[in-house]
Amino acid sequence: MAEKSGEGKLGGEGERIAKFLARAGVASRRDAEKLIEQGIVTVDGKILTTPAFKVTPEMEVRVDGTRVGKPDAPRLWRYHKPDGLVTTHKDPQGRPTVFEALQGRLPRVISVGRLDLTTEGLLLLTNSGALARRLELPSTGWTRRYRVRAFGKVTQSQLDSLKDGVEIDGVQYGPVRATLDQTQGGNVWITLSINEGKNREVRNLMRHLGLQVNRLIRTAYGPFQLGKLAKDTVEEVPGKQLKEQLGKKICEEIGL
């Protein structure tokens, strides 16, 4: 049995182990801390007991026995997620997942946020847990834009009532920009923009207005657009474009 270690570099040089594992694409920082709690992260053969530990390049880091190499440079991909895929690595109900659909096409990646089973459109994927976490933060201020088809009737005035945010079932949602594009039979098409992306936010907002969403497509996440990317197609964001869109501060934070 490996010896436990909570000692070592707790200050000074090096990179916190959780950040190191996130940049290596193993898991987000939060999930990396859970791996440490499970006792499956070792440094130079010793089981790690604290996420405050700092690693340096010469140290050997393993997760569940598998060596973690030097983190690759952060990369980002755009994926046109089809309806019917779960955004998770393993689904308890046995439903098909995004990562199964992408198997063999990408290195190990994680998603930036999630899209529901029946939601289509732009899903960002990255090999960097640090980048994923940074892009998910509301403070990043990036707008998520959607095209919504919903059954029911609504006026532009009702949609405008969402512009200052609204509380639904005890959950406070932030400002929403929504435009009524067209009425088609018993359905309406709406373009909607939000900044937080809480669980089932768009569907809950539409339900609040008496609408039942029957198709939901994410068309943009911040500066990254779905564009003409075909369904189930994945395309890498060029490194130069990624740096330009992220800005110097975020690039320095994530080691890009």
Secondary structure (3-state) at 37: helix
- Percent with pLDDT over 70 in the chain: 94
**Res. 8: pLDDT tops 50:** no
Residue 87 and residue 54 share a domain: no
Q: Is 160 a catalytic residue?
A: no
| Strand blocks (E) in the chain | 4-5, 15-16, 41-43, 46-48, 54-55, 61-63, 66-68, 76-81, 110-111, 119-126, 144-151, 166-168, 171-173, 177-184, 187-194, 212-221, 224-225, 234-236
The per-residue pLDDT for 71 is 67
Burial of 134 (0-12, 13-18, 19+ CB in 10 A): buried
Average of per-residue pLDDT values in the chain: 87
Residue-level pLDDT at 248:
86
Which entry of 31, 44, 116, 232 is annotated as an active-site residue?
Answer: 116
Statement: residue 7 has pLDDT above 60:
no
Whether pTM exceeds 0.85: no
Q: What is the pLDDT of residue 33?
A: 86
The pLDDT tens digits of the residues spanning 158-172 come to 999 999 999 999 999
Question: Number of folded domains in the chain?
Answer: 3
Reading the block at residue 82, the tokens are 């089809």
Say how far apart CA 190 and CA 216 lie, in whole Å. 10
**Residue 112 sits in the same domain as residue 237:** yes
107, pLDDT greater than 90: no
The single-letter DSSP state of residue 76 is E
Please give the C-alpha separations between residue 55 and each of 10, 15, 44, 154, 199, in angstroms, as whole numbers: 9, 5, 10, 56, 35
**Residue-level pLDDT at 155:** 94
Q: Is the pLDDT of residue 179 over 90?
A: yes
For residue 216, the Cα-to-chain-centroid distance in whole angstroms is 17
Binned at pLDDT 50, 70 and 90, residue 122 comes out as very high
Please indicate, yes or no, whether residues 64 and 8 belong to a single structural domain of this protein: yes
Average pLDDT estimate for 37-64: 87
Q: Give the residue ranges of DSSP H helices in the chain.
A: 17-23, 29-37, 98-101, 129-136, 156-160, 201-208, 239-254
Lowest average pLDDT, out of 51-60, 103-112, 148-157, goes to 51-60
Output the domain CATH number for residue 108.
3.30.70.580
How far, in Å, CA of 168 to CA of 242, rounded?
36
In this predicted structure, the answer to whether residue 244 has a pLDDT above a threshold of 60 is yes
Residues 60, 85 within the same domain:
no
Residues 60 and 154 reside in one and the same domain:
no
Phi then psi dihedrals of residue 131, to 5 deg: -70, -45
Shared domain for 121 and 241, answered yes or no, is yes
Task: Please determine, for residue 2, whether its predicted confidence score (pLDDT) is greater than 70.
Answer: no
Q: Rounded mean pLDDT of 60-83?
A: 87
**Domain, as residue range, for 213:** 143-221
Question: Are 148 and 181 within one domain?
Answer: yes
Rounded-to-integer distance, Cα 236 and Cα 249, Å: 22
Q: What is the CATH number of the domain that holds 210?
A: 3.30.70.1560
Contacts of 176 (CB under 8 A, 6+ apart): 162, 163, 165, 166, 192, 193, 194, 205
CA atoms of 180 and 107, how far apart (whole Å): 40
